[in-house]
């Protein structure tokens, strides 16, 4: 595994040099996000967390017949805890084509259901990430994704998960994830973003998700509703999310509440603030209260309060 790390490091250095001369063909990017966290349940714990820090390369090249080749190879990096096998992990990695028809990607990538959330999750990658309560935040192996061009601000995303012959549990099940999206998820080209996503037998579950986010000047309001059903056990659950953000100069104030009703009701409430230090750097602080505490999907504690202070830099 050490050889993999050193190879990735050397490759990153070489690609950075190449990217200076071929920005369209190759772009090196990344994000380092680290927080100091204080958690209190039965006991008090202090820890440094690397919050989905990553680096990657991506690019595109013009081909004949108005086609463009596209690719991405992204890796997660743990800046704080793991120094061996888990230090570098695979994220979105694909190759594809795009043109007037839209784009097709083949490889490992977020499903249509996952990317339909847009930017509605104000605490993405932290303790209050929606994946802590809602299923379907899947980066699928052996998948094919189609994303249509935008027509009157509407676009369609479809992900087909192939039957994995090397995985006995998945051999007899191919899943389909679809999403119909409206507007700009970054709320720059439009003041409204919304999406309706459906999963059919994706990792053993059916899901329906509706997302809406609206910009109102300095305020941004968001909401999400989801219905999910486990096809093996027959258990189902319904969840909701509501949030708001307010931008004031370099400060961004955030509040979010989410809950889900299944075999038991679980909820998470969070408040936070970001302070922009530069175009690519911010400091942040947040507080989250969970009425549950999960470890590997097993509820081991009913309540947990976490406070975090951190720094993020993008490159």
3-state secondary structure 145-181: EEECCCECCEEEEEEEECCCCCCCCCCCCCEEEEEEE
Mean pLDDT of 211-240: 96
Instruction: Name which of 52-66, 89-103, 301-315 the model is least confident about.
Output: 301-315
Alpha carbons within 13 A on the beta-carbon side of 126: 31
Query: What pLDDT is recorded for position 1?
Result: 46
Mean pLDDT of 145-171: 84
User: How far apart are the C-alpha atoms of 285 and 297, rounded to whole Å?
Assistant: 26
User: How far apart are the C-alpha atoms of 176 and 202, rounded to whole Å?
Assistant: 6
CA-wise closest residue to 286 among 101, 170, 127, 116: 127
Query: What pLDDT is recorded for position 116?
Result: 97
Query: What pLDDT is recorded for position 169?
Result: 55
Delineate the domains of the chain, giving CATH numbers in brackets. Answer: 2-314 (2.40.160.10)
Higher pLDDT, 48 or 42: 48
* Highest mean pLDDT out of 34-43, 52-61, 159-168: 52-61
Average pLDDT of the chain to the nearest whole number? 88
With tokens 């594809």, the residue in question is 96
Query: What pLDDT is recorded for position 24?
Result: 78
Mean pLDDT of 137-160: 97
The band of 156, judged by pLDDT with boundaries at 50, 70 and 90, is very high
204: left (phi over 0), alpha (psi -120 to 50) or beta: left
User: How far apart are the C-alpha atoms of 75 and 11, rounded to whole Å?
Assistant: 12
Query: What pLDDT is recorded for position 294?
Result: 55
Query: What pLDDT is recorded for position 44?
Result: 83
pLDDT in tens, 245-268: 999 999 999 999 999 997 778 999
DSSP string computed for the chain: -HHHHHHHHHHHHHHHHHHTT-TTT-EEEEEEEEEEEEEESSSEEEEEEE-S-EEEEEEEEE-STT-EEEEEEEEEE-SSS--STTSEEEEEEEEEEEETTEEEEEEEEE-HHHHTTTT--TTTTSTT-GGGT-S---EEEEEEEEEPPPBTTEEEEEEEEPP-TT-TTTTT--EEEEEEEEE-TTSSS-SEEEEEEEEEEETTEEEEEEEEEEEETTEEEEEEEEEEEETTT--EEEEEEEEEEEEETTEEEEEEEEEEESSSEEEEEEEEEEEE-SSSEEEEEEEEEES-EEETTEEEES-EEEEEEEEEEE-
**Bridge pairing between strands 281-290 and 44-50:** unpaired
Mean pLDDT of 224-252: 96
Largest CA distance in the chain: 63
The pLDDT of residue 22 is above 70: no
The pLDDT of residue 20 is above 60: no
Query: What pLDDT is recorded for position 262?
Result: 77
Query: What pLDDT is recorded for position 45?
Result: 85
Neighbours of 19 (CB within 10 A): 17
User: How far apart are the C-alpha atoms of 315 and 297, rounded to whole Å?
Assistant: 33
Instruction: Name which of 21-25, 164-168, 197-201 the model is least confident about.
Output: 164-168
The band of 14, judged by pLDDT with boundaries at 50, 70 and 90, is very low
pLDDT in tens, 78-135: 988 766 667 889 999 999 999 999 999 999 999 999 999 999 999 999 999 999 999 9
The share of the chain scoring above pLDDT 70, in percent, equals: 84
Mean pLDDT of 270-289: 97
The band of 293, judged by pLDDT with boundaries at 50, 70 and 90, is low
The pLDDT of residue 66 is above 70: yes
Are 304 and 312 within 8 A, CB to CB?
A: no
């Amino acid at each position: 595994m050490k050889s993999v790390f050193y190879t990735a490091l050397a490759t990153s250095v070489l690609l950075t040099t190449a990217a200076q001369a071929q920005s369209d063909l190759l772009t090196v990017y990344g994000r380092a996000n680290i927080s100091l966290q204080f958690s209190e349940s039965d006991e008090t714990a202090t820890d440094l967390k690397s919050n989905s820090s990553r680096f990657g390369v991506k690019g595109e090249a013009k081909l004949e017949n108005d086609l463009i080749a596209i690719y991405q190879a992204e890796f997660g990096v743990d800046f704080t805890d793991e120094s061996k096998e888990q230090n570098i992990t695979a994220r979105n990695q694909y190759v594809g084509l795009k043109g007037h028809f839209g784009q097709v990607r083949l490889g490992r990538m977020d499903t249509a259901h996952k990317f339909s959330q847009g930017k509605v999750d104000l605490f993405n990658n932290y303790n209050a990430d929606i994946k802590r309560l809602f299923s379907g935040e899947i980066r699928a192996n052996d998948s094919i994704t189609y994303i249509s061009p935008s027509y009157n601000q509407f676009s369609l995303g479809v992900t087909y998960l192939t039957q994995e012959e090397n995985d006995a549990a998945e051999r007899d099940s191919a899943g389909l994830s679809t999403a119909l999206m409206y507007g700009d998820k970054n709320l720059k080209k439009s003041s409204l973003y919304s999406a309706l996503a459906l999963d059919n037998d994706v990792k053993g579950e059916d899901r329906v998700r509706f997302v809406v986010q609206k910009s109102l000047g300095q305020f941004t309001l968001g909401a999400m509703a989801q219905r999910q059903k486990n096809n093996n056990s027959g258990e189902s659950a319904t969840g909701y999310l509501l949030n708001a953000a307010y931008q004031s100069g370099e400060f961004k104030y955030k509040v979010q509440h989410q809950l889900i009703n299944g075999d038991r009701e679980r909820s998470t409430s969070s408040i936070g603030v970001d302070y922009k230090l530069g175009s690519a750097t911010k400091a942040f602080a947040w507080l989250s209260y969970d009425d549950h505490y999960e470890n590997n999907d097993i509820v081991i504690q009913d309540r947990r309060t976490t406070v975090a202070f951190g720094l993020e830099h993008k490159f």
